[in-house]
Amino acid sequence: MAAMESERRRAELLERIGSRFDLEPRVAEDGTAWVSVREQDLGDCLAFAKREGFDHCSAVSVTDWPEEETFELTYHLWSYETKVLLTVKSRIDRGKATVASAIPLWGPSAGIHERELHELFGVEFAGNPDLAPLFLEKWDGPPPFRKDFDWRAYVTETFYEEGNPHEQSYRD
Amino acid sequence: MAKGRRAADGYDLYFGPVHPGSGNFGVKLTVEGERVVAARADPGYLHRGFEKLMEYRTPMQNAVLSDRLCILESLNWNLVHAEAVDRLCGTEIPERAKTIRVILAELSRIQSHIIWYGVLSKALGFDTGFKVAFGYRDYVLDLFEFVTGGRVYPAGYICPGGVRRDIPEGTKRRIVELLAKLERMIREFEAYDSKTIAVRCRGIGVLELDDALRLGATGPVLRASGLSADVRRDAPYEIYDDLDFEIPVREEGDAFARSIIRRREIEESIRIVRQALGRLTAEPLPPVKPKTAGKLPEGEVYVRNEIARGEAAVYLRSVGESHPYRCKIRGPDLLHMIPVLEHLLVGAEVADVPAIYWSLNICPADMDR
C-alpha cells in the first residue's frame, strides 16, 4: 500500500518536473527517478526539488567526460516524506567548470560534498565559502580524480628514484 | 592525546589524530577556559582513493576492496557495493543468498555497535565497559571467521551475484548460541548505564532535528533527534520487506539518546537475525565464481543501504567495460565527522568532547575513503 502511494506521488512529481523543465524523466527498474537538465536549468530544478520535499541531499557527484569536454554533475536527493529517490543530472563545460553552490538549499550537507568535489575534480561551486582541501596534504598536482590525470606517471616520477635497480620494474 | 598551544584569545587544543583516542582523525578545538568556541575537523589520514582505485578493477576485485571502506562494518559495505553491481547488471539473487546477506549484515551491525559501546566507554574512562564489549565482539568475529574466513575483513564474502560460498554446516546452531550471548551482553550494558554512560552523556551534544537535516545526519544520529527514517524500511532491499522489526526513535537528540538507540538496535538486529534464520531453506547454494572476462552493462545506479552508522550509498556508472567508469561512495561519516561534529562541539565543555565525539560512532575510513 505504502509502495503504491509512493509510486503515485513519484509519477505526479516527475510529471511536474517534466513539464516545468521540458524534459523526460526516467524511472529505473529499482524505482529510482532520474532527470537530466540543461546547465542553465540546474539551479531552478534543484530548488524545485527542494520545494517538492526532497529534504535530504544524499550525495553530490561528478563524472568526468574529457572527450566530450564536460563534467556531469549528479545530485542524489531523497524525500523523507514521499520516499522517492531522485537524481538530477546536468553536464557542464569542463573548461570553465563553475556551478552555483547548493548550500542555500541543503546547507552544509551539500556543502561538504562540494568541498570534496572541488578538491578531487577541480569544480568550482560559486557561493560555497569553504572549499579548503579535505584529504590531500600539500597537493600541487592537477585534481587527481580527473580521467586525464596520469597517476601511474605521477607516482613513478614522485616516489621512485631513477637509476635505482630495485625500483626499475616500476619504470618498465 | 592533546597538544596545547597558548593563543592570545584562548587555547588551540588538538583532539586526535592519535589512533586510540580519536581514530585516525582529529579535530582542532579553540578553547576559552573550559568551553570550546570553535572546532575544525582535520580529515584525510585514511584517504586511499577508493573511488579512483575502483575505476581500474573488476567488480569482483572491488568487492574485496569494499571491505576496507569501513573496517568496523566491512560486511555492510560489501553488501552496498554488491547490490549496486547486481542492480546495474540486473542479476537475480537466490533467496538463500539474500537471507545469508541479511544475517551477516545484521551481525555486522551488532558487531559495529559493540565496538561503539567499547570506544565510548573507553573515552569516558570506563575501562570495564570497553573490555566487556570487546570480549563479546570476539564471539561475533569467531562466527565471521567460521563463515567467511576472515575475522575483520571478509574478503568480499558478500559479492556481486550473492555470497562467495554457502554457509558451512553448523552455522545456524552457532548463530543461535551467539545471539543468546549477545542478549546477556545487552543486560550487562543496561546494568552499567545509570553509573556510567547516562551520567556522562545525558543532556550533552544536543542535536535539534532541523540541524540534523541541514547537516546531513542519518542513521542513529538522525533517529535520536526524532525522525523515524531507515532505508531498510523506507526503501527495502534484500528481504527486509518481509521481516518484522522496529525502528527505535528518541526525541532528546543528546548523546545519551544516541546511545540508547544503538542498544535498542542491537535488540532489533537480533530479532531480524532470528527471523532470517527461520527463513533459511535447505536447498544448497552454488558458489559464485569470479568472472574474469565479464563486462558491466552500460548504465548507472544509485543504491542506498542502512548500515550501522547511517546511510551508505554507491553511485556506479558504467560505459560497458569490465571496470566501472565512475564509482562514487557516499558514507555517513563524511557528514557526521565534519558538519555534525563541528556543530556539536561548539559551545561544549572540554570534558564533554570525548563523549560527544564517540556518541556519533564515527569511522574515519568511510569518510576519507
| Whether B248 contacts B265, CB under 8 Å | yes
CA–CA gap between residue B45 and residue B232 (Å, rounded): 31
Shared-domain flag, residues A65 and A115: yes
Q: Which of A54, A65, A109 to mutate to test the interface with B (most CBs of B within 10 A)?
A: A109
B17 preceded by cis ω (within 30°)?
yes
Are residues A147 and A130 part of one domain? Answer: no
Question: Along chain A (172 residues), what's the average pLDDT of each consecutive run of 10 residues?
Answer: 75 82 81 88 91 91 93 94 90 90 93 94 92 87 88 83 78 70
> Which residues 6+ apart lie within 8 Å of B103 measured at CB?
B175, B273, B276, B277, B280
Nearest to A108 among B44, B303, B339 (CB): B339
The C-alpha cell 573550559 sits at B34
| B339 contacts A111? CB cut-off 8 A | yes
Interchain pair A57, B216: CB under 8 A: yes
Residue A2 confidence (pLDDT): 65
Domain locations in chain B? 49-368
Instruction: Say what the pLDDT of residue B327 is.
Output: 93
pLDDT at B298: 92
* C-alpha distance from residue B5 to each of B11, B15, B75, B333 (Å): 6, 13, 41, 28
Cα→Cα distances A99→A17, A109, B12, B92, Å: 21, 17, 35, 39
Q: Which residues of B touch A76 (CB under 8 A)?
A: 302, 313, 315, 330
For the purposes of burial, counting CB atoms within 10 Å of the CB of A133, is it exposed (0-12), middle (13-18) or buried (19 or more)? middle
Measured between alpha carbons, how far is A160 from B132 in angstroms, rounded to an integer? Answer: 47
CA distance B161 to B143: 22
Q: Are residues A120 and A166 in the same domain?
A: no
DSSP category for residue A142: S
- Amino acid identity of residue A161, one-letter, is E
Enumerate the residues of chain B whose CB falls inside 8 A of the CB of residue A87: 302
Distance CA A3, CA A5 (A): 5
Neighbours of A19 (CB within 10 A): 9
Q: Find the helix or strand (DSSP H, E) in which A49 lies.
A: helix A42-51
B85 Cβ contact list (under 8 Å, min separation 6): B59, B62, B63, B91, B160, B296, B316
pLDDT per position as a tens digit, A156-170 = 888 887 788 887 777
Q: What pLDDT score was predicted for residue B292?
A: 62
Return the residue matching grid coordinates 580524480: A145
Q: How far is A137 from chain B (nearest CA, A)?
A: 8
Residue B90: CB atoms within 10 Å: 10
Q: How far is A98 from chain B (nearest CA, A)?
A: 20
Alpha helices in B92-170 (DSSP H): 95-123, 127-148
**How many domains is chain A partitioned into structurally?**
2
Statement to judge: residues A40 and A56 lie in one domain = yes
Q: Whats the size of chain A, residue-wise?
A: 172
Specify the pTM.
Answer: 0.89
Interface mutation target, options A1, A34, A35, A63, chain B, most CBs of B under 10 Å = A63
Contact A136, A161 (CB under 8 A): no
Separation CA A87–CA B170 (nearest Å): 44
CATH number, domain with residue A31 = 3.30.460.80
Nearest to A108 among B214, B301, B326 (CB): B214
A81 vs A88: CA distance, rounded Å: 18
Whether residues A25 and A13 fall in one domain: yes
A95 and A127, same domain (yes or no): yes
User: Domain check: are A84 and A168 in the same one?
Assistant: no
A25, A108: one domain: yes
Q: What is the pLDDT of residue A1?
A: 57
State the residue range of the domain holding A151: 136-172
**Burial class of A166 by CB neighbour count within 10 A (0 to 12, 13 to 18, 19+):** exposed
User: What count of CB pairs under 8 Å joins A to B?
Assistant: 93
Are A78 and A158 within one domain?
Answer: no
Q: A29-33: long-range contacts (C-beta < 8 A, 24 or more apart)?
A: A29/B87, A29/B90, A30/B87, A30/B301, A30/B303, A31/A6, A31/A7, A31/A85, A31/B235, A32/A85, A32/A86, A32/A87, A32/B301, A32/B302, A33/A84, A33/A85, A33/A86, A33/A87
CB contact, 8 Å: B218 with chain A? Answer: yes
Name the minimum distance, in Å, from the CA of A129 to any CA of chain B: 14
Write b or e for each residue in B193-208: b if 16 or more Cβ atoms lie within 10 A of its Cβ, otherwise e.
beebbeebbeebbbbe
| pLDDT tens-digit map of B49-89 | 899 999 988 898 899 999 889 888 999 999 999 999 999 98
- Find the DSSP H helices in chain B: 19-22, 50-54, 59-66, 74-89, 95-123, 127-148, 171-193, 197-201, 209-214, 219-223, 231-234, 255-279, 333-335, 341-345, 353-359, 364-368
For residue A83, the chain B residues in CB contact (below 8 A) are 234-235
Kindly state whether residues A66 and A76 are assigned to the same domain.
Answer: yes
Whether residue A84 is found in the same domain as residue A142: no
- DSSP codes, B192-244: HHTTTHHHHHTTSS---HHHHHHTT--HHHHHTTT----HHHHS--TTGGG--
**Helix, strand, coil shares of chain A as percentages rounded to 5?**
40, 25, 35
Q: Are B322 and B58 in contact (CB under 8 A)?
A: yes
B304–A contact, CB cutoff 8 A: yes
Q: What is the pLDDT of residue B8?
A: 58
Q: What is the pLDDT of residues B299-323, one digit of tens each?
A: 999 999 999 999 999 999 999 888 9
Name the residue among B229, B328, B335 with its Cβ closest to that of A112: B335
CATH among 3.65.10.10, 1.25.40.10, 1.20.1560.10, 1.10.645.10 for B49-368: 1.10.645.10
Number of Cα atoms under 13 Å in the Cβ half of residue A26: 13
Side-chain-side CA neighbours of B70 within 13 Å: the count stands at 33
Nearest CA in chain A to B337: A112
Task: Say if the Cβ atoms of A76 and B335 lie within 8 Å.
Answer: no
pLDDT digits (tens, 9 = 90+) for A61-90: 999 999 999 999 999 999 998 888 999 999
User: Do A126 and A159 share a domain, yes or no?
Assistant: no
d(CA B353, CA B348): 7
Q: What residues of A are in contact with residue B87 (Cβ under 8 Å)?
A: 29-30
Which residues in chain B come in under a pLDDT of 70? 1-9, 19-22, 290-293
